[in-house]
Structure formats: structure tokens, C-alpha cells
Amino acid sequence: MERTIYREIKATPQILQLAALLGLFILAAAASILYVEHHGHIVTGMNNEIVWGLPHVFAIFLIVAASGALNVASIASVFGKTPYKPMARLSGLLALSLLAGGLAVLVLDLGRPDRLIVAMTTYNFKSIFAWNILLYNGFFVIVGAYLYVQMARSMPYSVIRVAGTVAFLWRLVLTTGTGSIFGWLVARSAYDAAVMAPLFIVMSFSFGLAVFILVLSLITRLTDRSLGPKLIARMGRLLGIFAGLVLYFTAVQHLTNLYAAEHGSVEAFILRDGGIYTQLFWVGQVIIGGLIPIALVFHPTGGAKPASTIVASALVIAGGFSQLYVILIGGQAFPLEIFPGFDVSSSFSDGVVNAYSPSYLELLLGLGGVALALAITGFGMMVLRILPTNLSDANVGQS
């Protein structure tokens, strides 16, 4: 094994082309933000019933994936797995970047971003949203410190391990808080479930590792750095386990709701009668985002190929967006049960499934958040020594 050497990435023509593409997405997102700010949210697909639209799907995906992107660093520092140690710096940087991109989308979709000052200075500790502000800020500080001690010269491993353990525990709390936004929202039949917290934790493991694999594969290819096929296959198998856990906790969520008579109608809506939401659940989430990736990475022969892990990662991400769309939009589309056990009829569309059709403005804002996260990651790798020059199987101790 050679000594692991970290070097900044150079501004090659391919890197500059990718940066320009990301810049275009960020500019398009900025234009959509200004347009919505001027004309109001009436120009989007959101309405009085669907108040969290497609931008929130992107925002929550990025926030959840930020926690999971720290998987590799946690495995290296907390659990002492040698093959993952050279990638720990990239893991920390990507986690910070994804959270920044997700929060940017979240804040800019509020309609009045300036009111965030009120939320940051006046806390209502009975609100899970107030707790999440503290969790997000704490994540930046703790992971930033964790990244610093990894990069500092002659830093004792004991200090790195302590910082990694604190970051690992904090990310679990952060994702628990994000899942609890839905689990504690008892007014929505599709949300009211304690299993939402552990479900979001395993979702973060799966989505974050999938994003990490794709980013690592892309950047090593663009910079002509070695990336061992056995190392990728190892991460692919771990991704398959996480994807299986997501399916397991999803099954627990729906079986629990089916057992409770009060949630029978919303389960029928999601699993059978929900139209696009039912299709996204079974095809997008279960098949594309779960079963196919698991089959790819655990195939006796094909699972060892890097292409299988890369395709599986892309499918997990697609399934993740489907899952969050069903949870977030589908949960709002199902009518509120204000008076359980009674039929409600009024001029306010009570008892009616709420319609929602996302606009291109919402899509541009969401994609802009993704582009911002990737741009921050790329810039960080250009100014800091984040990426090793050699990630071959022999060099990382992968046999």
C-alpha cells in the first residue's frame, strides 16, 4: 500500500464544463425564485391544500441525504473500517454541501425568506420546526469541526474518533427530527406514525450513500484518479442492505396503519386508489428504488461490476424522490379528517382528494438546490485537499 496522498482537483476543461452546467441550473433557479417572489405562489402548482410542493420534496431529499452522506466517514472513524478512511473527507464535505443545498431550497420556497430571522431569534420549543433549526445549525458546526480534525496534520486518531462519534450521533438526532416533522403531525392520516423517525434514518443511510457513490465515481473519472472495483462493489452491497431496510420499515409503516382502523382509508388511497401516488409507490419506490437495486448489487456475478453499483445508486435516488413525493404530496392530497367518523360536506372541498400539478418553476428551484450542493462540493475539492490521488483496491487495503 502507498501512503494516501490528498490533492486538490484541477480546473480541467471537463471540470469547467460541468461547473458551467451547474451554474446554468443555479441561474435558472434564481430566475424562478424572482418570478415567484414577484407574482406570488399562485404561479406554482401549490395551493391552500398542497402547501408543501415539489421544492420541499427536493429539499427534504437533500437534507436526508446529507445525513446519510456522512456514512462513509462514520464507518471509517467510528467503526474503524480501513478501506473507507481515504474517502472520509469527501464524505464530510458532501454532507455539508447537501445540507446547504437542501436548506437553500427550503428557505427560498417559503415566500417570505426574510421571516426566517423571526424563526431564528424567537424559538417555540413546542414546535419540531424550531428544534430542527438548532439541529441543522449544529450539524454544520459539528461536521465542520469533524472535517477540520480529519485534515489537520498530526491530529491524534483518538480526537478524530471522538469527533466522528459526536457527528454520528448528531446526524441520527437530526434525521429523527426531520422524520418527526411528519410522525408528530397527527392532523394528517398519512403522517401520524412513530415509525416515521426510524424510517427517515434508514432512508438517509440509503439516499446519502447512493449520492456519495455517484459523486465519487463521477469525480474520479473526470480527474483520472483510480477507483477500485472491489471498493465500489463493497459500497454497493452496503447500499443494497440499506435499500432493503427502507423496504422493511416502509412495510412496517403500512402494516401498522392497516392494523389501525382509523388509517384504513388513507392506506387504500396510497396502496390502491391513489392514481399517480399509487404508481409512484409500487413502481417508483418499491420496484425501481428497492427491488431492482438489491438484485443488481447482490447478483452472483453482475454485482461485482462497478456499473451495477452505479446503476443501483441512480435507481435508489429515483426511488427516494418517488418515496418522498408519495409521503409529502400524497399525504397532503388525502383529505383531512377533521371530524373522524362523520361525513363532511361544504363549499371548501372537504372530503375531496386535493389536486396538485407541479410547475416548471418548482422543478427549476429543486434542481437548482441539487446544482448548488454539487457546486459547493466541487469548489471545496478545488481549494481543499479532499480527494485522494489513488483509491485503487490495493491502496485502500481492499482485497
Q: Which residues pair with 227 in a beta bridge?
A: 391
Which among 99-113, 182-196, 279-293 has the top mean pLDDT?
Answer: 279-293
pLDDT of residue 2: 59
Q: Is the pLDDT at 58 greater than 60, yes or no?
A: yes
Going by pLDDT thresholds of 50, 70 and 90, the confidence category of residue 384 is very high
Q: Which residue in 195, 183, 93 sits closest to 146, CA to CA?
A: 93
pLDDT of residue 192: 80
Distance CA 113, CA 107 (A): 6
Going by pLDDT thresholds of 50, 70 and 90, the confidence category of residue 250 is very high
SS3 assignment for the chain: CCCCCEECCCCCHHHHHHHHHHHHHHHHHHHHHHHHHHHCHHHCCCCCCCCCCHHHHHHHHHHHHHHHHCHHHHHHHCCCCHHHHHHHHHHHHHHHHHHHHHHHHHHHCCCCHHHHHHHHHCCCCCCHHHHHHHHHHHHHHHHHHHHHHHHCCCCCHHHHHHHHHHHHHHHHHHHHHHHHHHHCCCCCCCCCCCCHHHHHHHHHHHHHHHHHHHHHHHHHHHCCCEECHHHHHHHHHHHHHHHHHHHHHHHHHHHHHHHCHHHHHHHHHHHHHCCHHHHHHHHHHHHHHHHHHHHHHCCCCHHHCHHHHHHHHHHHHHHHHHHHHHHHHHHHHCCCCCCCCCCCCCCCCCCCCCCCCCCHHHHHHHHHHHHHHHHHHHHHHHHCCCEECEECHHHHCCC
Give the Å distances, CA to CA, from 141 to 12, 63, 171, 369, 394.
Answer: 32, 15, 12, 21, 34
In this prediction, residues 50-59 reach a mean pLDDT of: 93
Assess contact for 330 and 190: CB atoms under 8 A.
yes
Q: Is the pLDDT at 22 greater than 90, yes or no?
A: yes
pLDDT of residue 124: 77
Distance CA 152, CA 284 (A): 43
Q: In this structure, are strands 6-7 and 387-388 parallel, antiparallel, or unpaired?
A: antiparallel
Q: Which residue in 282, 284, 310 sits closest to 297, CA to CA?
A: 310
Going by pLDDT thresholds of 50, 70 and 90, the confidence category of residue 260 is confident
Burial class (CB in 10 A: 0-12, 13-18, 19+), 351: middle
- Given the candidates 1.20.1250.40, 3.30.200.20, 3.30.450.20, 1.20.1630.10, the CATH classification of the domain at 7-337+350-382 is 1.20.1630.10
Sole residue written with cell 456519495: 212
Compute the mean pLDDT over every residue in the chain, rounded to the nearest whole number: 90
Q: Is the pLDDT at 350 greater than 70, yes or no?
A: no
Q: Is the pLDDT at 397 greater than 70, yes or no?
A: no
Q: Of residues 327 and 341, which shows the higher confidence score?
A: 327
Percent of the chain clearing pLDDT 90 (strictly above): 66
Q: Is the pLDDT at 139 greater than 60, yes or no?
A: yes
pLDDT of residue 190: 84
pLDDT of residue 346: 67
Going by pLDDT thresholds of 50, 70 and 90, the confidence category of residue 83 is confident
Distance CA 187, CA 255 (A): 20
In this prediction, residues 161-172 reach a mean pLDDT of: 95
Going by pLDDT thresholds of 50, 70 and 90, the confidence category of residue 90 is very high
pLDDT of residue 82: 85
Going by pLDDT thresholds of 50, 70 and 90, the confidence category of residue 395 is confident
pLDDT of residue 398: 62
Q: Is the pLDDT at 399 greater than 60, yes or no?
A: no
Q: Is the pLDDT at 324 greater than 80, yes or no?
A: yes
Q: Which of 108-117, 251-260, 280-289 has the lowest mean pLDDT?
A: 108-117
Going by pLDDT thresholds of 50, 70 and 90, the confidence category of residue 347 is low
- 207 Cβ partners below 8 Å, 6+ apart? 61, 64, 65, 68, 316, 317, 320
Going by pLDDT thresholds of 50, 70 and 90, the confidence category of residue 69 is very high
In this prediction, residues 218-232 reach a mean pLDDT of: 92
Q: Report domain extents, the chain.
A: 7-337+350-382
pLDDT of residue 57: 96
Which among 141-155, 183-197, 280-294 has the top mean pLDDT?
Answer: 280-294
In this structure, how many other beta carbons lie within 10 angstroms of the beta carbon of residue 195? 17
